[in-house]
Amino acid sequence: MVTGAAGFLAHHLIKELRSRGYFIVGVDKRPIPANHELPDLFLQTDVNDLKFRDLIGIEDVYHFSWRTNIPDCSRHPEESTRDNIIMSIHMLEVAKEAGVKKFLFPSTASLYGNNPTPWTEDMEPDPQEMYSWQKLSIEYACKMYAKMGLPTAVFRFFQVFGEHQREDTALAAFIKAKKEGRPITLTETTAQSSFKSGQRDFVYAGDVANAVCMVAESDIGDGSIFNVASGNFYTMEEIADTMGADVMWVPRRGYEVERHWGSIKKIQKLGWSPKTDVIKWIKENI
């Protein structure tokens, strides 16, 4: 079962699951866009309305349903906390009741905050805004539910890119601006930085889906956390330059961390490695 089945990442996950021979049940209150990969069975409903009987016979739950926009979660802290945390606890509970074999949860690298890079899974979390704090809360819940008999695993995604990415992602906004002949807006770093624009660790959505499925098929289920990243980074200015776009600079927002860069040594031990470089992808697709 894939919740959030109408989303960007779910498109890539469903495609990967199908290549592995699974029967896929998708859940989303929104219809799935026509150009997205379709599950074998689609339940157009609110995740909160699922009962344990809806999950009987489900092997794995990929809980990708989430209120994802960081500024939106910060503007609406109480509402987004209710939406994200209560919904996710509900899914953990019905999955446990139904005897699901494994619960897979996508968290975020943003919760590393101001830790020194490269970020490793054993660092103390340091969320700077509501979205990351909400993700961290469900990480702890996954660890707890694993002790209660529901196997779980957690992934900290870095800057995910790829086909059908959400319009509110930086790369999607860049692409739209370029196509419309507008300058790309870049956030300027502080005067103390040795680089002018933020640095991000970009990882391709298809590689992300492969990583998630690899852990799902392993015997890991104790709430272990895995970085899913490229293990390298580019400045946002390099991304803009690759597109051949004009740039307009704006001040950094208070919660923004200037460098996102992840160590992938832990997940590499399982045999996973990223295949698609963001610069190459941009040159081939933009």
Domains of the chain as residue ranges with CATH? 2-160+202-228 (3.40.50.720), 167-201+232-261+275-285 (3.90.25)
Which amino acid, one-letter code, is at 259?
R
Q: Residue 151 corresponds to which tokens in the numbers above?
A: 């196997």
pLDDT: is 156 or 241 the higher one? 156
- Residue 137 confidence (pLDDT) above 70: yes
Q: Could you tell me which residue, 182 or 225, shows the higher pLDDT?
A: 225
Q: Is 286 exposed, middle or buried (0-12, 13-18, 19+ CB in 10 A)?
A: middle
Amino acid at position 72, single letter: D
Please give the pLDDT value at position 175: 86
d(CA 111, CA 129): 8
Q: What is the pLDDT of residues 26-55, one digit of tens each?
A: 999 999 999 999 999 999 999 999 999 999
Q: Which amino acid is at 171?
A: L
Is pLDDT at 191 greater than 50 in this prediction?
no
Give the residue-averaged pLDDT of 261-284: 97
Using alpha carbons only, what angle is made at residue 12 by residues 18 and 87, rounded to the nearest 5 degrees? 100
Distances (CA, A) of 41 to 25, 72, 142: 5, 31, 26
Residue found under tokens 């852990």: 215
Global pTM value: 0.92
For the ranges 51-60, 99-108, 181-190, the lowest mean pLDDT is seen at 181-190
- Give dist(CA 173, CA 67) in Å, integer: 19
Axis-axis angle for helices 236-243, 170-179 (nearest 10): 30
State how far Cα 218 lies from the chain centre: 20
Does residue 44 contact residue 31 with C-beta atoms inside 8 Å? yes
